[in-house]
Each structure stands twice: as structure tokens, then as C-alpha cells.
Amino acid sequence: MENPTQLWTRPFYQPSAQRSFLFWVVWLDKPDAELFIDPKRHGFPPGDSAGLDLDVIEDAEWLGSFLQGPIANMAHFSLEPLGQCPRAVLIRGHFPDSADLRALQTGMAFLKVYADLGALAAIDLVATRWWQPAEIQALAPDRPFDPHEHLSVVSERSEEHFCNTRGLAKFARPELFVRKVPVDRIQEVADGLWTFAKEMANGKLLLNHPQLKLWPDDTDQDNPAHGIAPSMFRNASLEFSP
């Protein structure tokens, strides 16, 4: 039967030398379970495989690090059952910047495969987004690309009201941020970042935008040029001056 799923593409694509980074962790206490892949049911794009790495990990300490602290606080459901599951599958890969989103679409399809196998939960580490199995299974396999699945804008309620995006590394694009956002402008600034983020996910570069300043990749940098925090984005970043 013909696969009705259409390959996700980027209508405003501008090429760059950057690489996209994808990384999901799927808690699954069935490391030897045989994968059953149905392209139509799970939403795999037509054509060649994307080349994602699938690895089983059994490291209770490493997996437990996600179940406490800021990352755990972003979950909208209880993570307690994950503490009893010392195994997970890592879905990950680096890919050249591209006019299509084959690797991202394939990764989301694998999430549906593992949800069918009984996965307990998954986290998109690049976007810091948690997924419950029911949410994954509810995604239509032939749905069009929706940036809301892959990106977010967050505001840290501190004296500086720092606002930033999460997830743009999946699109080979720098993250966006704004410092010292006035309380009464948080929503306005967040909306502006979201507009930029959607355009970049769909392929735009925006590197010459007059309100955006490019900062270099801060991965493993103790004193990154932007001066915010070590490895804040694990990516290059664009500072927005609204």
C-alpha cells in the first residue's frame, strides 16, 4: 500500500554550513523487543532512510539525572515511573543543513514505533520537551510539519526576565534570546521570538537582521562570548533587541 506521508520541507530554505542536531531519550524497559515499523502507521517519510542512530543505554545514574532539577520541572506529568526503568533508547544524529526535514520526521516516526512497544515516556533533549506515549500516538502519521511540536519559547522569571527559544538546533539554526525583558513586555517579546523561530524552522537564516546579534557556539565553553552561562544553548545564538 502506498505511503500517504509527505516529506516535510522548508519553504523559505536558505542554505548554511551549519549542521542540525537531533536527540531523543525514550524510556523503554524492553531492550530486546523487536521493532515493528509500519511506514504508513508511524509516519515515516518516503524515500531513503535518514541515518539516525538508535542505541540502547542501561545507565541508571545518567537517566536519573533527567528526573530531577530544571529538566524534570518542565514535565507536565509524573516522572516517578521512569525511576524504576534503568533502560532507554537514544535516537540521535547530526545532519547537514537541508531544504527538507527528513531526519526530524524520521525521529518523530521512531517515537511512535517505541510508543507502540510500550515506552513509558520520551524527552526531546534539544527542545527540552517531554512526551507521554498517548501524546505521541495521537499524532497523525500524515500530518504536515508543525513548529509547535519541535520548538518552544520560555521566559525565566528572574530579575532580568530572560526569554529564549529551545529547539532551533534541530533546524541548523542558532537559538534566540532577549535579556532584561520588562515584565509588561514578556508576552510581546515572546511572540516576537516565536515569529522569528518559525521562520528559521522553515529555512530562513535572518543573520543580517538589524535587531539580531550573532553569538558563537557556546558548547563546552566555560566563559562563552554572550556572558550568560556555560553551555547555555549548546549552539550558536542570536540576541534579539526588541
pLDDT digits (tens, 9 = 90+) for 11-64: 999 999 999 999 999 999 886 778 899 999 999 999 888 899 999 999 999 999
3-state SS class at 191: helix
Confidence of residue 6 (pLDDT cuts 50, 70, 90): very high
Q: What backbone torsions phi and psi does residue 39 show, to the nearest 5 degrees?
A: -50, -40
Give me the mean pLDDT over the 109-121 stretch: 96
User: In terms of DSSP H, where are the helices of 117-222?
Assistant: 133-138, 186-201
Q: Are 113 and 44 in contact (CB under 8 A)?
A: no
Confidence of residue 92 (pLDDT cuts 50, 70, 90): very high
- The better pLDDT of the pair 157, 61 is held by 61
* pTM (2 d.p.): 0.94
Mean pLDDT across the chain: 93
What pLDDT digit, counting tens, does each position of 216-240 carry?
A: 999 999 999 999 989 899 999 999 9
Which structural domains are found in the chain, ordered by start?
A: 19-138 (3.30.70), 151-240 (no CATH)
